[in-house]
Amino acid sequence: MTGAPVRVCIIGNSHIAALKLAIRHGFFRDDRLDVVFWGVTGTTGNGFRSIRYENGRLVTTETAFVRMVSEGKYETINPDDFNALIFHGSTVRYTKLLDSLRRTGGDVRQYSRAFLRDGIAGWLGTSHAATLIHRIRSSYTGRILVSPMPLMSEDSKRFDGRTVEAGELTLLNDILSEFYAAGGAEFLPQPNETIVQNKYTSTDFSIGSVPLGGDVRHRKAEYYHMNARYGEAVLRKVSERLQS
Amino acid sequence: MGSPYETLPSKSFWRTAVAEKRPRQIEQLWDPKFDFLPIHKISTMGSCFAQHFSSALLARNYRWFDAESAPHVFAPETARKYNYGVFSARTGNIYTTKALKQWIFWALGLDSPPDEIWVKDGRCYDPFRPAIEPGGFATAQEMFDSRLACLAAIRRMLKQADRFVFTLGLTEGWINRAGGFNYAVCPGTAAGEFDPDLHVFHNFGFAEILTDLTAAIDAIRAESPHIRFLLTVSPVPLVATASDKHVLTATSYSKSVLRAVAGEHADAREDVDYFPSYEIITAPAFKGRFYEANLRSVRPAGVNFVMKTFFSSLHQKFGASQPHGGKKSGRLKQADRPVPGTRDEMEENGVVCEEQMLEAFAR
Range list of β-strands (E), chain B: 41-46, 63-64, 118-120, 123-125, 163-168, 172-176, 199-203, 228-233, 272-274
Task: Average the pLDDT over B292-318 and give the result.
Answer: 92
The whole-angstrom distance between A100's CA and the closest CA on chain B is 5
pLDDT beyond 80 at B249:
yes
Q: Do B74 and A109 touch (CB under 8 A)?
A: no
Q: What is the dihedral of CA B50, B54, B57, B62, to 10 degrees?
A: 130
Task: Average the pLDDT over B222-251 and give the result.
Answer: 96
pLDDT of A2? 59
Sheet with A6-12, side-by-side order of all strands:
A33-39, A6-12, A84-93, A143-149, A186-187
Measured in residues, chain A has a length of 244
Q: Which residues of A touch B125 (CB under 8 A)?
A: none
- Which residue in A154, A172, A194 sits closest to A101, CA to CA? A172
Q: Which of B69, B75, B138 sits opposite A112 (nearest CB)?
A: B138
pLDDT of B348? 41
pLDDT beyond 60 at B346:
no
Chain A positions with Cβ closer than 8 Å to B: 96-97, 100-101, 103-107, 109-115, 118-120, 122-123
Q: Give tens-digit pLDDT for B178-219.
A: 999 999 999 999 899 999 999 999 999 999 999 999 999 999
Q: Do A113 and B138 touch (CB under 8 A)?
A: yes
3-class SS of residue B185: coil
Rounded to whole angstroms, the Cα distance separating B306 from B314 reads 13
Q: Do B71 and A100 touch (CB under 8 A)?
A: yes
3-class SS of residue B61: coil
* Number of helical H runs and strand E runs in chain A: 7, 9
pLDDT beyond 60 at B29:
yes
Q: Which of A96, A107, A113 sits opposite B73 (nearest CB)?
A: A96
Other C-beta atoms closer than 10 Å to the C-beta of B360 total: 9
Q: Do A122 and B74 touch (CB under 8 A)?
A: yes
Q: Do B71 and A119 touch (CB under 8 A)?
A: yes
Q: Which residues of A touch B155 (CB under 8 A)?
A: none
pLDDT beyond 70 at B336:
no
Report the relative pairing of strands A84-93 and A143-149 from DSSP bridges.
parallel
Query: Residues 6 or more apart from B266 whose CB is under 8 A from it?
Result: B231, B272, B273, B274
Q: Give tens-digit pLDDT for B39-48.
A: 999 999 999 8
Is A140 in contact with A80 (CB distance < 8 Å)? yes
pLDDT of A152? 95
Which segment of A34-48, A187-201, B79-93, B340-354 scores lowest on mean pLDDT?
B340-354
pLDDT grade, residue B354 (50/70/90)? confident
Would you write out chain A's pLDDT as a tens digit for each of its 244 residues? 458 899 999 999 999 999 999 999 999 999 999 999 999 987 777 788 899 999 999 999 999 999 999 999 999 999 999 999 999 998 999 999 999 999 887 899 999 999 999 999 999 998 999 999 999 999 999 999 999 999 999 999 999 989 999 999 999 999 999 999 999 999 999 999 999 999 999 999 998 887 777 767 777 678 999 999 999 999 999 999 999 9
Amino acid letter for position B265: H
Q: Do A110 and B148 touch (CB under 8 A)?
A: yes
Q: Give tens-digit pLDDT for B133-154.
A: 999 999 999 999 999 999 999 9
> Which chain B residue has its CA at the smallest distance from A99's CA?
B71
pLDDT grade, residue B334 (50/70/90)? very low
> Sign of the C-alpha dihedral, residues B324, B325, B330, B335?
negative
For chain A, say whether B157 makes contact (Cβ under 8 Å).
no
Rounded to whole angstroms, the Cα distance separating A178 from B320 reads 53
> Which chain A residue has its CA at the smallest distance from B156's CA?
A104
Question: Which of A97, A103, A104, A149 should one mutate to test binding to chain B, selecting the residue with the greatest count of B CBs within 10 A?
Answer: A104
Q: Which residues of B touch A113 (CB under 8 A)?
A: 138, 142
Q: Which of A103, A105, A109 sits opposite B71 (nearest CB)?
A: A103
- Which residue in A182, A168, A172, A173 sits closest to A237, CA to CA? A173
Is this prediction's ipTM beyond 0.95?
A: no
* Number of helical H runs and strand E runs in chain B: 11, 9
Q: E strand or H helix at B108, and its extent?
A: none
Q: Which of B67, B75, B135 sits opposite A114 (nearest CB)?
A: B135
Q: Give tens-digit pLDDT for A158-196.
A: 999 899 999 999 999 999 999 999 999 999 999 999 999
The whole-angstrom distance between B129's CA and the closest CA on chain A is 14
Q: Which of B82, B135, B146 sits opposite A110 (nearest CB)?
A: B146
For chain A, say whether B78 makes contact (Cβ under 8 Å).
yes
Q: Do A115 and B82 touch (CB under 8 A)?
A: yes
Rounded to whole angstroms, the Cα distance separating B296 from A80 reads 63
Helix, strand, coil distribution of chain B in percent, nearest 5 = 40, 10, 45
Q: Do A115 and B133 touch (CB under 8 A)?
A: yes
pLDDT of B165? 97
